[in-house]
A and B are shown apart, each in its own frame.
Chain A
Amino acid sequence: MKRREFIGKSAVLGSGLAAAGMLSPKPSRATSANDKIRLGIMGLGGRGSFLNTRLAERSDVDIIYLCDVNARKLGRAAEEVRSRRNTRPKMTQDFREMLDDKTLDGIVNATPDHWHALGTIMACQAGKDVYVEKPLSLTFWEGQQMVKAARNYNRMVQVGIQNRSAPYFMDAVDYIQSGTLGDIHVARVFNMMKHSPVPKGPEEPVPNGLDWDMWCGPSQKAPYSQGRWWFNRWEYSTGGVLGDQVHQLDVVRALINRTWPDSIQHMGGVHFFDDSREIPDTQMVTYAFENKLTLLSESTLWTPYIKKTPMTIRDTDTFPDWPFNSTRIEICGSEGFMYFGRHGGGWQVYNNDGELIKSVHGRQSTDEHLENWLQCIRTREKPTGDVEQAHISTGLGHLANISYRAGNRKLDFNPATQKTDDVEANKYFTKSYREPWVVPENV
C-alpha cells in the first residue's frame, strides 16, 4: 500500500463516525491561501510553549491568544511571539475568551490530559479547528466524543502524533506493505524510561496567579500542592507510560496495518515507586489482532540504562543503539526483522541471515505535522494525525489501563460495540465530571 492509500484507508477505518461529519457544520472564517491563520494556544507548559515558538516562527500564522490558567506562563510565551513576530498576543487565563473570538481559526490544546476532551469539544462547537496534544483523551469514551465533535462540526482536529508526518515513517509503511518482511505475526513496542517518585505533598496555599479551580476543571478539585503528583492519578492523567507510549502504539499500528485488537491483557502494576501513585510504573501488555498477529508492549518508568533516542540523533542521519533505545519498535516477519525508531532515528531491516539489508534515516517531524494541520485548515482535507486515528491508538493504551484496573484481566474487545466482554472493566471506559466542566453526551 502506498502512503497516500494508507492515509486514505486509515481515515475510513474505525467506528464509522465519519458519516456524521456532515450533520451540522458550523460556518468558519474563510481562510484563503493568502490569509494568515489566526491561532490561540491553550496550555503553555513545556509542550505548549514549544508549539508556540514553532508556530511563531511561521509567517503564515498569527498567534492572537495565549491562554493558561497559570498567569506565570503567559508573559514568557508572549515574549517568544513578540521577539519573533513583533506582535503581542492577547493573554488570558480563561480559554472561553478565545473561543468567543469569531476571527480565530483554530486553537492548539496543549493542556494536561484531563482538559484535552472538553477543550477540544468546546473549540469544535465554537467553530475552531484544533491541534490537540497526545494522549488524545483521559478516557476511552472521551476519545469517542472528540471524534464525534470533529465530525459533527466539520473541524480539522489534528493530534500530536507527529511521527505520522515523518517521510521515513511513510517509507517504512510502504516497505512493510510491499511484503519484504514476509508474514508478520509479532510486533513489539518499547517505552522504557527513568522517572522519579512524585508524591503529593501537604496542602499549600495556591500561588499567586494560578486559577486552581480552572486547572482541576472537569476532574475532582484536589487540595493544591506543587509538583506533578497528579501525573500518576487516574483523575488527571493517563500516566507516564500511555502519555508517551501512544506514539509507539500509533506508529506500530500503522506499520502492521491494524485498528482494534480482539483481546488485551495487561500484566504489571506499581512495582517500583512508593509514592502512592495509582497508575502502573510497569506495564506489559499483549494485544491479539486479527490474522494471528500479536503485539507486545513493554513499558517501565524505572530503567535508567535504556534511553530515549538522544537529542543529538533526532535531527541527524544517525541510528540509535537499538538494544538500549527505549522507544524502538520491532517488527518480526517470517522473512526479515525491522527496527524502527520514533522521533528520528530511522529504521533498519535485517534478513534471515542477520544481514543488514535496508537502512533509512529519519528525523523529527513536528514542523511537518504542524504544516499539515495548517494546510488542512485551508483545504478542509483530513489531517495526517486525524482525531479518529489518534483515538484508536490512544484507545489501545486505555484498554491496557482498563485491563489493569479490572485486575489484570484478559479482555475481549468488540469493535462494533466499542466495549469489552467484562462488565467490571467497562466501568473504566469513562469517569464522572465536575460541574460545570462536564464532557457532554451529545456533542
Chain B
Amino acid sequence: MKKWVWISAIVLALIISIVVVIYKSYARTSIDGVTSASIRIISPGDKNIEKTYVHTQEKTESTWLNITNVTFRKEWTEYGGPRVVIEYDLNEEDVTPKTPAYIFIRYRPENDGPWQLLNHELLEGNGHGIIDYPGHKESYFWGGYEMAFDNFVKAEFRVRGIKMARVPAGEFVIRTLPGGGKDDTQVHDRTPDLPIFHIARYETTLRMYTDYLNEIASTEEIGWNFKMKDDSTCGIRRHKAFLGKVRFSVTPGREDHPVTQISWYDARGFLHWCGLRMPREAEFEKTFQGGIFLDGDAYRENPNPYPKRSYPWGETPPDANGIYRCNAYGIEDGFPFTAPAGSYEEYNSPYNVADLAGNVEEWTLDWYTTSYHVGLDGYRMIRGGSWVEFPLVVDIISGATKSPILESGMVGCRGVFDAY
C-alpha cells in the first residue's frame, strides 16, 4: 500500500513539475521581442537605495527601435520622495531632429495585471516622447494618480521606440477636400497651415502589432480576427495557450510586413496603446507632398521644389522606365501582395516617410462627410494607395471611404505624435 502511495505522490509531483515548466516556458515566450524589465519596488519610506533590485531588459530584437541596456531602479530624493529612474541606450544612428525617435514606456504594477501606458506628463528627463539624438537616455517617474508606489511591491516596465519624421509647422497645398471631397458646403482652404507634428516613418508592422496583441491578450479579447491568418496579406496566428491564455505569432518571414485586416477601431487600439493617434487627412497629404517650405514657415530657407507633387518622390509615374518606386498592383515590383515596410526607401516622401503611395492604405482620423449617401454616416477616410492598385493611381488623391469596422487586406495604419 505504502509503495503505491509513494508512486502516486511521485507521479503527481512529476505532473505538477511538467505543468509548471510548460507554464513558465509559455510565460517567457509570450514576451519575446519586447524590450522589458522589471523592478521590485521597496516599501515606501525605505531610503536604503542600495537594496533596490535592478533588472535589465530581456530582449531587444524587434521592429521597434534598437534599445539596449535598459535598467530601472528606485532612488530616494531629498524633497520629492521616491522616484524610478529609467535608463537605456538608444542605438539608432539615423535618429536626428528631422527623423527623431518616439519612445513610450508601459508598465504593470503586479504580475499578470494589466499593462498600462506610462503617461508622458508623468515623466521627467530625456528618455520619453520625441527624442532627437541616439545615445544614453534617462527618464524619471515620480509616480502619479494612476500609480502610487504605496499600492504595490513590484512593477514591470517595457520600453519601445518608433522611427518618426518631424513635419515642421507651415503651409502646404491640400489636394482633396476633407472628408472625401464630397461635401461642397464646407469652406475649403487650398493652402492650409498645420502645426508641427511627428508621423511614423513606416507603416505599423506585423511584429509591432503582434507584440501589442500579446501584451493585451491576457486581459482583452480584441484586436485580432480570423481573417488575419491569411499569410498573403497578414499572417498573425492565434495560439491557444496554457490556463486559458492566448499567444500570437507572426508567420515567419512576414514580421516586417505591414499589419492589415485591422478595423479603424483596431488601429486606434494599437496606436492608443503606443500613446499615438492616427493622422488626419491633411497631415497625410502634407507628409506625402511636403509643405511649401520643407523646413517650415519658421525658417523658409528650403522651398519645396514640387509642393503639388503626384507621388511622394515627385511626378515620375511609379513604374516608369521599368523602375518600381512603390508596391502597387502586379508582381513586377517584386511583391505580389504586401512588401516589408520601407522596401522602397529611395522613394520616400520629402520628410523621409516610407510607403505613403503603395503597400497598404492607411486609416485616418477623419470622418466621411457627405449628405448624399446618408447611410455612410459614421464612415472613416482611408488614404494612400496599396498593393492592389494600378501604379498610376497610387497618388496624392488616392483614398477611400470605409466603414470603421472594415477589415481589409489592403488597409493598415501608422501613428502620429503631437509635439508639445
Does A223 belong to the interface (CB within 8 Å)?
Answer: no
The smallest C-beta distance from A153 to any residue of chain B, in angstroms, reads 33
Does B356 belong to the interface (CB within 8 Å)?
Answer: no
Please, which residues of chain B bring their CB within 8 A of the CB of A46? 373, 376
The answer to whether A79 and B390 touch across the interface, beta carbons within 8 angstroms, is no
Q: Which residue of B233, B375, B386, B400 contacts A311 across the interface (Cβ within 8 Å)? A: B375
**Interface positions of B from 133 to 184, Cβ below 8 Å from A:** 181-184
Chain B 348-388 interface 0/1 with A at a Cβ cutoff of 8 Å (1 = within): 00000000000000000000001111111000000000101
The answer to whether A228 and B390 touch across the interface, beta carbons within 8 angstroms, is no
Residue of A nearest to B233 (CB): A83
Q: Which residue of A71, A199, A208, A308 contacts B184 across the interface (Cβ within 8 Å)? A: A199
Interface of B, helix, strand, loop or mixed by DSSP: loop
Please, which residues of chain A bring their CB within 8 A of the CB of B184? 196-199, 201, 227, 275
Interface-located stretch among B92-100, B110-118, B391-399 = B391-399
The answer to whether B409 and A83 touch across the interface, beta carbons within 8 angstroms, is yes
Please, which residues of chain A bring their CB within 8 A of the CB of B310? 208
Q: Which residue of A72, A76, A208 contacts B410 across the interface (Cβ within 8 Å)? A: A76
The answer to whether A79 and B408 touch across the interface, beta carbons within 8 angstroms, is yes
Does A63 belong to the interface (CB within 8 Å)?
Answer: no
Does B120 belong to the interface (CB within 8 Å)?
Answer: no
Q: Do A78 and B374 form a contact, CB below 8 Å, given A208-B395, A227-B181?
A: no
Q: Which residue of A75, A227, A231 contacts B388 across the interface (Cβ within 8 Å)? A: A75
The answer to whether A228 and B392 touch across the interface, beta carbons within 8 angstroms, is no
**Interface positions of A from 168 to 222, Cβ below 8 Å from B:** 193-199, 201, 207-209
Please, which residues of chain B bring their CB within 8 A of the CB of A227? 181-182, 184
The answer to whether B373 and A195 touch across the interface, beta carbons within 8 angstroms, is no
Does B329 belong to the interface (CB within 8 Å)?
Answer: yes
The answer to whether B181 and A208 touch across the interface, beta carbons within 8 angstroms, is no
The answer to whether B329 and A75 touch across the interface, beta carbons within 8 angstroms, is yes
The answer to whether B390 and A71 touch across the interface, beta carbons within 8 angstroms, is yes
Does B185 belong to the interface (CB within 8 Å)?
Answer: yes
Does B230 belong to the interface (CB within 8 Å)?
Answer: yes
Q: Which residue of B233, B375, B393 contacts A72 across the interface (Cβ within 8 Å)? A: B393
- B interface residues, how many (CB within 8 angstroms): 30
Please, which residues of chain A bring their CB within 8 A of the CB of B390? 71, 74-75, 91, 209
Complex CA distance for A329 and B400, rounded to whole angstroms: 35
Complex CA distance for A240 and B182, rounded to whole angstroms: 15
Please, which residues of chain B bring their CB within 8 A of the CB of A31? none
Complex CA distance for A56 and B227, rounded to whole angstroms: 16
Does A226 belong to the interface (CB within 8 Å)?
Answer: yes
Q: Specify which of A201, A227, A311 lies most central, judged by the most chain B CB atoms within 10 Å of its CB.
A: A227
The smallest C-beta distance from B281 to any residue of chain A, in angstroms, reads 15
Q: Which residue of A83, A197, A231 contacts B230 across the interface (Cβ within 8 Å)? A: A83
Does B193 belong to the interface (CB within 8 Å)?
Answer: no
- A interface residues, how many (CB within 8 angstroms): 30
Please, which residues of chain B bring their CB within 8 A of the CB of A197? 184-185
Please, which residues of chain A bring their CB within 8 A of the CB of B375? 308, 311
Does B319 belong to the interface (CB within 8 Å)?
Answer: no
The answer to whether A83 and B227 touch across the interface, beta carbons within 8 angstroms, is yes
Does B32 belong to the interface (CB within 8 Å)?
Answer: no
The smallest C-beta distance from B234 to any residue of chain A, in angstroms, reads 10
Complex CA distance for A222 and B7, rounded to whole angstroms: 92
Complex CA distance for A342 and B319, rounded to whole angstroms: 48
Please, which residues of chain A bring their CB within 8 A of the CB of B371? 194-196
The answer to whether B398 and A228 touch across the interface, beta carbons within 8 angstroms, is no
Does B132 belong to the interface (CB within 8 Å)?
Answer: no
Please, which residues of chain B bring their CB within 8 A of the CB of A83? 227, 230, 233, 408-409
The smallest C-beta distance from A4 to any residue of chain B, in angstroms, reads 33
The smallest C-beta distance from B77 to any residue of chain A, in angstroms, reads 56
Please, which residues of chain A bring their CB within 8 A of the CB of B89? none
Q: Which residue of B227, B233, B386, B392 contacts A71 across the interface (Cβ within 8 Å)? A: B392
Chain B 214-228 interface 0/1 with A at a Cβ cutoff of 8 Å (1 = within): 000000000000010
The smallest C-beta distance from A197 to any residue of chain B, in angstroms, reads 6
Complex CA distance for A194 and B183, rounded to whole angstroms: 13
Q: Do A196 and B389 form a contact, CB below 8 Å, given A75-B329, A79-B410, A208-B395?
A: no
The answer to whether B398 and A78 touch across the interface, beta carbons within 8 angstroms, is no
The smallest C-beta distance from B401 to any residue of chain A, in angstroms, reads 9
The smallest C-beta distance from A220 to any residue of chain B, in angstroms, reads 22
Residue of A nearest to B176 (CB): A226
Please, which residues of chain A bring their CB within 8 A of the CB of B370? 196
Please, which residues of chain A bring their CB within 8 A of the CB of B185? 196-197
The smallest C-beta distance from A126 to any residue of chain B, in angstroms, reads 25
Complex CA distance for A83 and B310, rounded to whole angstroms: 29
**Interface positions of A from 302 to 331, Cβ below 8 Å from B:** 308, 311
**Interface positions of B from 183 to 197, Cβ below 8 Å from A:** 183-185
Please, which residues of chain B bring their CB within 8 A of the CB of A72? 389, 393, 398
Please, which residues of chain A bring their CB within 8 A of the CB of B397? 207
Q: Do A308 and B410 form a contact, CB below 8 Å, given A71-B390, A76-B400, A196-B185?
A: no
Complex CA distance for A72 and B388, rounded to whole angstroms: 10
Residue of B nearest to A229 (CB): B184
The smallest C-beta distance from B184 to any residue of chain A, in angstroms, reads 6
Residue of B nearest to A208 (CB): B392
Complex CA distance for A198 and B392, rounded to whole angstroms: 28
The answer to whether B372 and A228 touch across the interface, beta carbons within 8 angstroms, is yes
Please, which residues of chain B bring their CB within 8 A of the CB of A208? 310, 392-393, 395
Residue of A nearest to B390 (CB): A71
Residue of B nearest to A80 (CB): B408
Please, which residues of chain B bring their CB within 8 A of the CB of A207? 393, 395, 397
Complex CA distance for A227 and B184, rounded to whole angstroms: 8
Complex CA distance for A408 and B104, rounded to whole angstroms: 68
The smallest C-beta distance from A226 to any residue of chain B, in angstroms, reads 6
The answer to whether B386 and A75 touch across the interface, beta carbons within 8 angstroms, is yes
Please, which residues of chain B bring their CB within 8 A of the CB of A196? 183-185, 370-372
Chain A 76-99 interface 0/1 with B at a Cβ cutoff of 8 Å (1 = within): 101100110000000100000000
Task: Return the 10 tightest CB-CB contacts between A and B, nearest first.
Answer: A75-B388, A196-B371, A209-B393, A75-B389, A79-B388, A72-B393, A71-B390, A208-B392, A79-B410, A71-B393
- B residues in contact (CB < 8 Å) with A: 181-185, 227, 230, 233, 310, 329, 370-376, 386, 388-390, 392-393, 395, 397-398, 400, 408-410
Q: Could you list 15 examples of A-B contacts with CB < 8 Å?
A: A74-B390, A75-B329, A76-B389, A195-B372, A196-B185, A196-B370, A196-B371, A197-B185, A198-B372, A207-B395, A226-B181, A227-B181, A228-B372, A275-B184, A311-B375
Given A197-B185, A199-B184: 13 more A-B contacts, CB < 8 Å: A71-B392, A72-B393, A75-B389, A75-B390, A76-B400, A79-B409, A196-B183, A207-B395, A207-B397, A208-B392, A208-B393, A228-B372, A231-B372
